[in-house]
Amino acid sequence: MNLPNKLTILRIILVPFFMFFLLFPVFGDTISRIVAAVIFALTALTDLLDGKIARKYNLITDFGKFLDPLADKVMIISAFISLMVIDRAETGLVIALAITTSITVFRELAVSGLRLIVSSKANVVVAAAWLGKVKTVTQVVAVFVLLLEPVLLPFTNPYVSYILLAATTVMTLWSGADYFRAYWKHIDPSK
């Protein structure tokens, strides 16, 4: 159980706390969103650190290869679902969040299935691609904006949130398509 794996486990442990402050605003909506944003920042920081440390000190393990992408998915999907619940009064935003969340879940399931097939059939590890990393950064930024835009700009429409949800959706689709383009030969139904 090395440091990168401990950071990944910490990321998973922080998700319920993040969700608690969003779904049960015990300090009021504004303070609870800020506390949730701080917790989410810590989860995002563990995501950044665990990979850097693992690569720099050659601490890459099979456990980490399994748990790190799972922790990322739990972090982002839990955030999107929680934000859908608390922002239900903003109908347009809930619809945009529902579309983005559905596409995100579909993409993550599809890419996870692809990884499973490719690794078992061709004994190839499907590493995180550059577009996948950009997708994750876009998702993290979108969550921050969705959390803090109502706090920082309470009397305006959530235009920045809409723009970032659109960007997240595009990056999610693009990165998923890129994985399938790169590994299609392993699952081509015509073979």
Cβ 16 vs Cβ 36: under 8 Å: no
User: Angle between the 159-183 and 130-152 helix axes, to the nearest 10 degrees?
Assistant: 170
Q: Does any domain span residue 191?
A: no
Average pLDDT estimate for 66-95:
90
Please check whether residue 66 lies inside any domain of the structure. Answer: yes
Residue 175 counted as domain residue:
yes
Lookup result for tokens 């922002």? 87
Q: CA 166 to CA 97: how far, in whole Å?
A: 10
DSSP assignment of 33-98 equals HHHHHHHHHHHHHHHHHHHHHHHHTT---HHHHHHHHHHHHHHHHHHHHHHHHHTTTSHHHHHHHH
What was the pLDDT predicted at 20? 97
% residues pLDDT > 90 (the chain): 69
Instruction: Give a yes or no: residue 114 inside a domain.
Output: yes
Q: Please tell me the distance from the alpha carbon of residue 99 to that of residue 92, in angstroms, as a whole number.
A: 11
- Looking at residue 138, its pLDDT comes to 97
In 3-state terms the chain splits into helix, strand, coil percentages (rounded to 5) of 80, 0, 20
Alpha-carbon distances of 165 from 111, 160, 169, rounded to whole Å? 20, 9, 6
Average pLDDT, the chain: 92
**What is the reported pTM?**
0.91
| pLDDT of 123 above 80 | no
Question: What confidence tier does 45 reach under pLDDT thresholds 50, 70, 90?
Answer: very high
CATH number, residue 28 = 1.20.120.1760
Q: Is the pLDDT of residue 119 over 90?
A: no
pLDDT at 191 over 80: no
Both tokens of 79, joined, read 């955030």
Q: What is the residue range of 47's domain? A: 3-186
Q: How many domains does the chain have?
A: 1
